[in-house]
Structure 1
């Protein structure tokens, strides 16, 4: 695609809202019925980053972090965080998976009754628009040209792909948001890029293309991506790759 481009290095970003995380912890604490508050922090805290999440959890009064890898307990201890970490795959600790599932991160478990009311998704995944191009009707998009434009339209390229954890199985079904407007993902989701059909919306280089977030500004949630890819919110979150930079904020649900 032509029409200019911007560098994608350090452009892929997962913003982790620690205020939203603590908000969710407060909801879970109110439901704990006096028992220990246990948070599931497996898979690097579902891609949110084990150490920052462990620190925020300790500050919020969480009693126990549940993990699968005994080395995670060592990582938390070496960071100087005072919180019990139980590995239910290790020999030294024994604790079943935390009943809260991924509720602390804003979502319900796939096989349970869902999430408590009021939870706020913690992660927002985005990247800047790196190319914008106006094309005519019949223009083929991405590998195999499984999508062709029906009218003159504008295509926007987002430098995120299945190498970053975007499920390729969502091809033809997913959407992303730019400037608060949802646009369909068109063509095959590639290793390093996604193409959006933005129609006649005003989209410029550098505008953020939001894969998922809290759902408050037109963007899908991880739950919506799970639905269109035959997955679960936990898998969508945990798949977000290492080349996506994590940035920690205190935005809350605003």
Structure 2
């Protein structure tokens, strides 16, 4: 079935990025973060590519993601669910040998009850809030959390296999919070271990910290965006990472219009002279940012073209002047930049956001394709 838009994902690029991250991790293991459909790249396929590159753990946000990986045959590797909310089917996660994060006493207790139902101990990572003020227990609540976990461990309901926290500003080298968080995490580890916790892994580093903060690597690093080849610190360069996603469309319609033609809703773009317009069959319903209207660029007929007029739900228009383009010709919205196309990082900078948002927002109407599955026009969806 012909598809109008497609996100081509290069598994070899993901494997390359993980291998690079592993080499830079100084002996620490690598947990590839594959939450949010692997940042839009495809949960199962990206996970397999990350494992091929040397990842020894996988990290997700939600229970469903972990269970989908197990159902797809991703076994024999630890998977960590990093976000805990009341009422999740934790017994299914425990039964599937999936690790859970607990940053509150109530969650330790809920996981312990789920472990009883599952008939086996849960594997738990205790989360410390060292300054992000998001998930986890802060210094005041840490002793109570550790005590609750040790009591549940003594009862045979769980085993504390990890201690973890999360940086707030690791992507801002030199930010004063980095040293403060690192020091506090070290203190909270020491408290937990003196109390009797015997973790297999201690982990704090995200992509930015894994690449730039050796003291933060501990036993395990958790790269997210870098796994997919996008730099966590744009001002510091690419670190040798290779972007894995290329977003392409077939031109849907190409036509000449006279000077002064208003284009798309609101006529926020008018043609200065007689020109050729091309219709690109992807819009904000597919994850193309509407606030990229008259701003974002794509590659068409060998040159970059700015979106002309407002991005619609299913389509947008580009002005190609007098250049040649036919319906069905390929247009590259973003990619690694090898052919002169914009990158996801360039889109992000144009919009005042981060590359994470650009790739994760590409919606489910846009099929992901991997080498060997065919290109736009002959993929089977």
After TM superposition, is the score higher than 0.5? yes
Counterparts of residues 43-82 of structure 1 (less than 5 Å): 43-82=36-75
Q: Pick the aligned partner of 1:160 from 282, 307, 311.
A: 282
Aligned-partner SS, 2:318: strand
How far, CA to CA, are the matches of 2:325 and 2:9 in structure 1? Answer: 25
Count how many residue pairs are aligned between Structure 1 and Structure 2.
242
How far, CA to CA, are the matches of 2:261 and 2:299 in structure 1? Answer: 22
Scaled by the length of structure 2, what TM-score is found? 0.60
Counterparts of residues 1-254 of structure 1 (less than 5 Å): 10-82=3-75, 83-90=77-84, 92-93=100-101, 94=125, 95-96=164-165, 99-100=206-207, 101-109=224-232, 114=236, 116-249=238-371
Instruction: Name the structure where helix makes up a greater proportion of residues.
Output: 2
How far, CA to CA, are the matches of 2:308 and 2:238 in structure 1? Answer: 34
Unaligned runs of 5+ in 2: 85-89, 91-99, 102-124, 126-163, 167-204, 208-223, 373-381
**2:186 paired residue number:** none
Distance change in 2, residues 1:38/1:180 (3 Å): farther
Which stretch of structure 1 is more off in the superposition, 53-62 or 152-161?
A: 53-62
Regions of 4+ moved over 6 Å: none
User: Offset at 1:17?
Assistant: 0.5
Distance change in 2, residues 1:181/1:116 (3 Å): closer
Aligned-partner SS, 1:45: helix
Deviations 1:169-213 (A, max 9, x none): 111111111243211110001101010111122111111111110
How far, CA to CA, are the matches of 1:240 and 1:222 in structure 2? Answer: 11
Distance change in 2, residues 1:191/1:138 (3 Å): same
Bigger relative contact order, structure 1 or 2 (CA pairs below 8 A, ≥6 apart):
1
Q: Which has the larger radius of gyration?
A: 2
